[in-house]
Amino acid sequence: MIWTGILILFCLIGLFAYYRQLRYGLVVTHMGDYASWGIYISNFVFFVAISLVGSLVTAIFRLGNIHWSTPLTRIAEIIAVSAILFASFIIVVDMGRPERLVNLFIYGRIQSPIMWDVIVISTYLVISLLLLYLPLLPDLKILNDQKEKGRGWWSRIYVLFGGFWKSNARQERINQKAVLILSILIIPVAFCIHTVTSWLFATTYRPGWDSTNFGAYFVSGAFLVGAGAVVIAMYVFRKVYHLERYITETHFDKMGKVLVLLALIYLYFNVNEYLVPAFKMKKTEEVHLVTLFAGDFAPMFWFSLLAGLIIPAVIMLFKQGRKPLPMFILGIMVVVGAWFKRYLIVTPTLLHPFLPMEDSPERFKHYFPSWEEWAIAIGSLAGVLLIITFFVRIFPIIPIQETIAEQDATPEK
Amino acid sequence: MQKKDTSRRYFLLNGLLAGAGLAAGCSGKTAFTPDRAEEAVPSGEKVKLLSIDGEVIEVDKAFLKPVPDIPYPFSNREERVGIQGKKFVMVIDLSRCKNLKKCQSACNHMHHLHPGQNWLKIYAMQDAEHTAPYWQPATCMHCDEPPCVKVCPVDATFKRQDGIVLIDSDRCVGCRFCMAACPYSTRVFNWEEPALTEEVASREYSCETSVPQKKGTVGKCDFCPDMVRKGELPHCVTACPNGVFFFGDMNEDVVTNGAETFRFSDLIRDKAGYRLMEDLGTKPSVYYLPPVNRNFKFEEGLKTEEPKPTYKTVDRGNSEYLRCKKNHPRPFAEKIW
């Protein structure tokens, strides 16, 4: 209850900040004509990144015939849905004229990467919602069947969403087929959402963004932060709802190994992203890279790389590091590091334009978010957590039907 | 007979007041609305006026009436197409610039820009440590391959047939992707409600006048198509006392700064004109003439600049720009082509 209260409070503060922004304009932010995108956009990239995990755990593992991840699918999927939902909210918050959102549909031009993003993100949201909902149907039936045992008026929600589900052979066949099709469909769409998001930057000329590496770099980073978020959620749900029987130490161990793999892939793309331009040190790149490696942004840069990527990967190489508690801490480090990483992708580049920053107000030459920006960013994070919290209160976070089927199939448990 | 005469005069008068607008034929209020003509009683006092055809005509004073705001006579559609048969081009002669910033203040004034906003910026440039510094005024480049237009999701910024890139502030959603895409940092954003007088704020917006600017939308140099329609030069061109800016039509192959007129191709050939960041493939419509055989020393521009506390005017030859290089995080851009 305290937890929910705090989240709602943060959301309300965020809403109040947004009201101020609507009233006075984007001047309440500390963005300027140079840093014309700020933490709204980095937060957007962060949310899109985190949401990719839904496709990893539900689709890639499912198609790869990996069964241990079954109890984690719903955690991954609800993270995906709530994150992508708030990604779309935050992009509206960033607009100078949110009331003209409808112009995207009246005057939309398909050659703009923003239109591609609108298309793939809405597609991803729909598929993710279905992948959350369809496996939930058999579970709703189970919950409906025991509603006499008194879970109160929740049962009305179960009836509303799953009253038509009879669990007969035909329905189950359709459902399984649909989930399989969606699992295949969501993989290219997932790659698209983050590749297109990376193209919002890579289609410009600016140093630090003008990179052919960007799509793969973003997608690999996204899988890493998403997996980190799943680990955090696993630990919390396990503790709060006493799910030790379903989310076992083996799950943490295996997720640890997955994280190491993802971290290594991400590290590989980081090497490509930074060291290749650094080898050449073209003038415009040099200014950018030096501020990252040794300048104003160096502490954040090395923090996100070391604490958010290298140190967790090294610790997780050891069996002791893959126990639940260390995994929880490492998961937090990965997610926090990833958030700062997104900030570093958006902001420093904008402060290194080709022409000098002159004949512009002094305040445009630096960027640090205003309280309104922080409030909205934190409010949106709280909103994501709030959706997850409510979902877990209402619906079973462990897929009951699938887990039972899974345990029946693997007799050694 | 009398009545017929009145309406004829009335027609003339309105033709005068509405000016070119009627010629282009789009105004909502037509000159033929009869009601007011019947109200006015000729006073017998005549005024001489010059018609748009250059004809001197005489009009009864009673028929003169103030026109509060003539709506800009071109429709959004016409503004998006541009002026037929033209390909506008600008030439900026760096050898003549001493950072007077008259261009900038004229531009800011005529477009009623929010304080602090500049569509036209003058950069102190130095390409490398041992190369000469120079002043570089920069307008919108009105690229033939405009990166801003490519990324705009709603066609709010567009390229016209006459080469001008404009913004439709009535359509802009304020996503600022164009600002990220423009390598010339030419675009500015209206972060708050622009500070405008009531009269300016109440004017009907047009993409060609770019007035009034609107909160939450992007603005930039528009090459003053409203002036060009009137056969006049953009404000920066006429404001510069040193004749730095030349404006003209590539199809006619002529550019002028008001005092001198050159054949565009000759000027570019003879003075080795170039464009900024040619390697990006944006194909700007703004050409630069290199800062050779200069009319002014670079340092003279430092003196005319608004006094900045970080600059110390110590007379030690070239040391002044090196000093401000030290005091600024990155005062001199590197030429990147």
| pLDDT tens per residue across span B148-166 | 999 999 999 999 999 999 9
What CA–CA distance (Å, rounded) separates A253 from A68? 11
Question: Does A89 score more than 90 pLDDT?
Answer: yes
Q: How many CB pairs under 8 A join A and B?
A: 151
Query: Percent of chain A, pLDDT > 70?
Result: 97
Q: CA-to-CA distance for B2 and A340, rounded, in angstroms? A: 81
Which pLDDT belongs to residue B314?
34
Rounded to 5 degrees, what are φ and ψ at A368? Answer: -145, 130
Q: For residue B194, say if its preceding peptide bond is cis, omega within 30 degrees of 0.
A: no
For the cut 70, the answer to whether the pLDDT of residue B167 exceeds it is: yes
**Contact list, A200 vs chain B (CB under 8 Å):** 177
Q: Which residues does chain A have within 8 Å of residue B328's beta carbon, measured at their own beta carbons?
A: 356
Minimum Cα–Cα distance from A346: chain B residue: B180
Task: Pick the closest to residue A73 from A123, A125, A120, A136 (CA basis).
Answer: A136
Measured from the Cβ of residue A176, the count of other Cβ atoms closer than 10 Å reads 12
Higher pLDDT, B91 or A57: B91
Answer yes or no: is pLDDT of B313 > 70.
Answer: no
Closest residue to A355, CB basis, from B116, B138, B175: B138
* pLDDT confidence tier of residue A64, bands split at 50, 70 and 90: confident
Identify from B141, B151, B283, B327 which residue to disrupt to test chain A contact, counting A C-beta atoms within 10 A and taking the largest count: B151
Taking CA–CA distances from B281, the nearest residue in chain A reads: A205
**Average pLDDT value for residue range A140-149:** 74
Tell me the shortest Cα–Cα distance from B158 to chain A, in angstroms.
11
Q: State whether A25 and B189 contact (CB < 8 Å).
A: no
In this structure, the number of other CB atoms found within 10 A of the CB of residue A22 comes to 14
pLDDT of residue B43: 80
The pLDDT, as a whole number, for residue B67 is 64
Listed by number, the residues of chain B in 218-237 with a beta carbon closer than 8 Å to a beta carbon of chain A are: 218
| Unique residue bearing structure tokens 């995108």 | A37
- Helices H, strands E: what count in chain B? 13, 13
Predicted pLDDT of residue A95: 95
What does the pLDDT look like over A11-50, one tens digit per residue? Answer: 999 999 999 999 999 999 999 999 999 999 999 999 999 9
Where do the H-state alpha helices sit in A95-168? 103-106, 113-133, 136-145, 154-162
Could B173 and A109 be called an inter-chain contact, meaning their C-beta atoms sit closer than 8 Å? no
pLDDT at position B38, please? 53
Q: Does B192 touch chain A (CB under 8 A)?
A: yes
Partner residue opposite B173 with nearest CB, options A97, A201, A360: A97
Instruction: Kindly report the average pLDDT of chain A as a whole number.
Output: 91
CATH number for the domain whose boundaries are B89-289: 3.30.70.20
Residues A49, A377 contacting (CB under 8 angstroms): no
Name the segment(s) of chain B with CATH classification 3.30.70.20. 89-289
> Is the pLDDT confidence value at A133 over 80?
yes
Q: What percent of chain A has pLDDT over 90?
A: 77
Task: State how far the Cα of B85 lies from the Cα of B252, in Å rounded to an integer.
Answer: 9
Tokens read off for A319: 């069996």
pLDDT in tens, A256-297: 999 999 999 999 999 999 999 999 999 889 999 999 999 999
- Measure CB to CB from residue A204 to each of B171, B172, B181 and give the nearest one: B181
Integer Cα distance of B139 and B288 in angstroms: 11
Closest partner CB to B180 (pick from A104, A350, A360): A350
Q: Please report where in the chains the tokens 């040190």 appear, as a residue.
A: A281
With cut-offs at 50, 70 and 90, classify the pLDDT of residue B44: confident
As a whole number, mean pLDDT of residues A59-68 equals 86
Among B118, B125, B155, whose Cβ lies nearest the Cβ of A359? Answer: B118
pLDDT band with cut points at 50, 70 and 90 for residue A123: very high
Question: Does the structure show a pLDDT above 70 at A413?
Answer: no
Query: What mean pLDDT is predicted for residues A59-83?
Result: 89
Average pLDDT over residues A206-232: 94
Q: How confident is the model at residue B8 (pLDDT cuts 50, 70, 90)?
A: very low
Runs of H (alpha helix) within A281-370: 283-293, 298-305, 311-315, 324-350
pLDDT band at B180 (very low <50, low <70, confident <90, very high): very high
Which ipTM score applies to this complex?
0.91
Residue B134 reports pLDDT greater than 70: yes
Chain A: residue whose CA lies nearest to B137: A359
Over residues A222-243, the pLDDT tens digits come to: 999 999 999 999 999 999 999 9
Task: State how beta strands B157-159 and B165-167 pair.
Answer: antiparallel
Cβ–Cβ contact B123 with A under 8 A: yes
A94 interfacial to chain B (CB closer than 8 Å): yes
Residues in contact with B214: Cβ distance below 8 Å, sequence separation at least 6, in sequence order:
B169, B170, B172, B190, B194, B205
Cβ of B152 under 8 Å from any chain A Cβ?
A: yes
- Nearest 5°: CA angle at A235, between A232 and A238? 145
Residue ranges covered by each domain of chain A: 204-224+245-361
Would you state the pLDDT for residue B287?
Answer: 98
Residue B20's pLDDT band (cuts 50, 70, 90): very low
Query: Which chain B residues touch A33 with a CB distance below 8 Å?
Result: 179, 185, 187-189
Please write the tens of the pLDDT for every residue from B254-263.
999 999 999 9
| pLDDT tens-digit series, residues A248-261 | 999 999 999 999 99
Tell me, yes or no, if B201 comes closer than 8 A to chain A by beta carbon: no
How many angstroms separate the CA atoms of A83 and A228, rounded?
14
> A190-204 burial, b for 16+ CB within 10 Å, e for fewer?
bbbbbbbbbbbbbbb
